[in-house]
Amino acid sequence: MVADRVRAGLEAIIGVSHVFPAPDGPRLNIRPGSTEEVSRCLQFLNAQAVPVVPLGGLTGLVGGTDLFGAVVGLSTERLNRIKTLDPLRNLLTVEAGVKLEQIHAYASENGFRYGVDFGARGSCSIGGNIATNAGGNAVLRFGMTRANVAGLEVVLADGRVLSDTGGLAKNNTGYDLKQLFIGSEGTLGIITQAVLKLSRPSADTASVLLAISSLDHALGIMGALEKGCGQALLSLEIMWNRYFRTVSRAIAKGAARPISDIHPFYILAQAEGDGDRVRAQDILLEALEDVDGIVDSALADTRAGQNAFWAIRDGSEVIENSHPRVLSFDVSMRPQDYATYVGKVEERLARDVPHAVPYNFGHLSDGNVHFMIGHDGTVAEADHRIEDCVYETLSDYWPTSVSAEHGIGREKAGQLWRSRSAEEIAVMHALRVTLDPAGTLNPHVQYRAGPAASGSGVTATDA
């Protein structure tokens, strides 16, 4: 149990109404309303050696915000202000609890766009996006979250505040400290404020949905689109048949769908036009002229039509509701390894977990495959067997990542060694010990050095 004296101390800092018991265990949740309050709370909790788990929009998929034991969950939901827009430098300053969808709406209202986007936009927070270095549908054009952050304000475990919110495009004075915290999953500090890079969008976009016959053809189409569209290409996604068929049928509810669901693979690409000079649909059509492997296609240049295409790609919730148990995986590799890797995973699943059903989709040009694997629980240790099918097969390839864009959290701590060397893990561990020697920040997000360590994680407190 979190001691009464701890609760009393937190109430004195942020008020009784913002300290309350978590609904599912012997812990507290707190909601500080400013960077100063976050700083005072962390300073107090660090002195009491109480572990802290930062809570954003709670949309993560790797257990990084799981609450356990006598911990304090620190929510950023009251840090929800959009602060300033610098239209000359294309910079937007926001607090960590602002939802991604709010950022998109505000940027659009002011003639800008923020380049990071994905399906959880309505509930995820920007602080969580930064802490996990979120990816999404437009990494091809704008990069991961890391590439879209110009400044951060972060509170360290002991309450010290690091503030780099000037947003200078050039500042070559030593280490770029903000980069340490992007993707650190709350293990090095808690993000309270961010300066985001914006850009000017084109009013003209178009999307094309292609049915194709093989992954080899998919790679050829990828090359043609990247060459023919250049910087106009915003997104390039791939869906395997089972995913496309299941989601498109569920969304259509008997109505006509944009394209037949009988084909092996589907590519969804989006491009933008160049003002009044070149239309987006013409850019796509010209890039795809005389390309082999396309067996059916549909083009949309209206917002409604494009939204219908993208609703299929973003409709993974349909899969979540299709089985008693669904495991999600997020791996990356060279796109040319897609075919053999996915084939081996499915072959092993059929042998080891016969009732498992894989649904595959991903970001084609990024080499990022998402597996959603459903099962009915009739096979003993099915979850563990399915993980082995995905991760052990991945180890046959290089370079690869066990987590392309979702982070490590608790779920993937035991797999980290497959993607990072012992030397890299040791340096990450050393950084963590330096910034949080008491090991109070997100202690359950662990860095394990190898398969032998899978039963006992390495955390800052082990140093």
List pLDDT tens digits, range 157-207.
999 999 999 999 999 999 999 999 999 999 999 999 999 999 999 889 999
Whether the pLDDT of residue 253 is over 50: the answer is yes
Any idea which residue has 């178009």 for tokens?
A: 206
> Regarding beta strands 161-164 and 265-272, do their DSSP bridges make them parallel or antiparallel, or are they unpaired?
unpaired
CA gap 207, 322 in Å, rounded: 28
pLDDT of amino acid 64: 54
* Fold held by 205-316: Alpha-Beta Plaits (3.30.70)
Q: What is the pLDDT of residues 275-296, one digit of tens each?
A: 778 899 999 999 999 899 999 9
Cβ-in-10-Å burial (0-12, 13-18, 19+) of 171 comes to exposed
Rounded CA-CA distance 80/102 in Å is 10
User: CATH code for 4-75?
Assistant: 3.30.43.10
Name the band, by pLDDT with cuts 50, 70 and 90, for residue 60.
low
Could you tell me which residues come within 8 angstroms of residue 126 by beta carbon, excluding any fewer than 6 positions away? 94, 96, 97, 98, 99, 100, 103, 194, 196
Is-cis flag, bond preceding 399, omega within 30? yes
Regarding predicted confidence, which is higher, 443 or 162? 162
Query: Predicted confidence band at 21 (pLDDT cuts at 50, 70, 90)?
Result: confident
Question: What's the whole-model pTM score?
Answer: 0.87
Instruction: Compute CA 175 distance to the chain's CA centroid, rounded to the nearest angstrom.
Output: 25
Give the per-residue pLDDT at 460: 30
Instruction: Report the candidate in 85, 93, 141 with the shortest Cα–Cα distance to residue 117.
Output: 141
Domain at 82-199, CATH class: alpha beta
Q: What is the pLDDT of residue 188?
A: 95
What CA–CA distance (Å, rounded) separates 435 from 412?
Answer: 23
For residue 420, give both structure tokens.
Answer: 């990072």
Rounded-to-integer distance, Cα 142 and Cα 144, Å: 7
Q: Euclidean distance between the first and final Cα of the chain, in Å?
A: 25
Q: Of 3.50.50.60, 3.40.1350.10, 3.30.70.2740, 3.40.50.720, which CATH number belongs to 323-406?
A: 3.30.70.2740
Of 109-113, 342-346, 367-371, the one with minimum mean pLDDT is: 367-371
Predicted confidence (pLDDT) at residue 438 exceeds the cutoff of 80 = yes
For the segment 15-24, the average pLDDT, to the nearest whole number, is 84
Secondary structure (3-state) at 239? strand
Higher per-residue confidence, 28 vs 225: 225
Residues 6+ apart with CB under 8 A from 153: 35, 161, 162, 163, 164, 165, 191, 192, 193, 194
* 46 alpha carbon, distance to own chain's centre: 29
Q: How far apart are CA 444 and CA 107, in angstroms?
A: 36
What local confidence, expressed as pLDDT, does residue 452 receive?
46
Question: What is the phi/psi pair of residue 175, to 5°?
Answer: -65, 145
Residues near 434 by beta carbon (within 8 Å), at least 6 away in sequence: none
SS3 content of the chain, % helix, strand, coil (to 5): 40, 25, 40
Sign of the four-CA dihedral 112, 115, 116, 117:
positive
Mean predicted confidence (pLDDT) in 94-99? 96
| Contact assessment for residue 100 and residue 126, using Cβ atoms and an 8 Å cutoff | yes
For the chain, what is the mean pLDDT? 89
pLDDT per residue over 102-118, tens digit each?
999 999 999 999 999 87
> Do the first three CATH levels of 4-75 and 323-406 match, i.e. the same topology?
no
On whether the CB atoms of residues 81 and 95 are closer than 8 A, the answer is yes
Question: Does residue 450 have a pLDDT over 70?
Answer: no
Residue 214 CB partners (closer than 8 Å, separation 6+): 264, 265, 293, 339
Where are the chain's structural domains? 4-75, 82-199, 205-316, 323-406
Answer whether 74's CB lies under 8 Å from 190's CB.
yes
At 454 the pLDDT is 40
* CA dihedral of residues 402, 408, 411, 417 (deg, nearest 10): 50
What is the Cβ-side half-sphere exposure of residue 443, based on CA atoms within 13 angstroms?
A: 22
pLDDT at 459 over 60: no
User: To the nearest whole percent, how much of the chain has pLDDT over 70?
Assistant: 92
- Pairing type for strands 72-75 and 52-55 reads parallel
- What's the pLDDT score for residue 161? 98
Is 414 in contact with 458 (CB distance < 8 Å)?
Answer: no
Q: Which pLDDT band, with edges at 50, 70 and 90, does 70 fall under?
A: confident
Segments of 258-380 assigned E as strands: 265-272, 294-300, 325-332, 357-363, 368-375
The predicted pLDDT at position 167 comes to 94
pLDDT exceeds cutoff 60 at 457: no
Query: Residue 57's pLDDT is what?
Result: 60
pLDDT score for 65: 58
Is residue 421's pLDDT more than 50? Answer: yes
Q: Is the pLDDT of residue 328 over 70?
A: yes
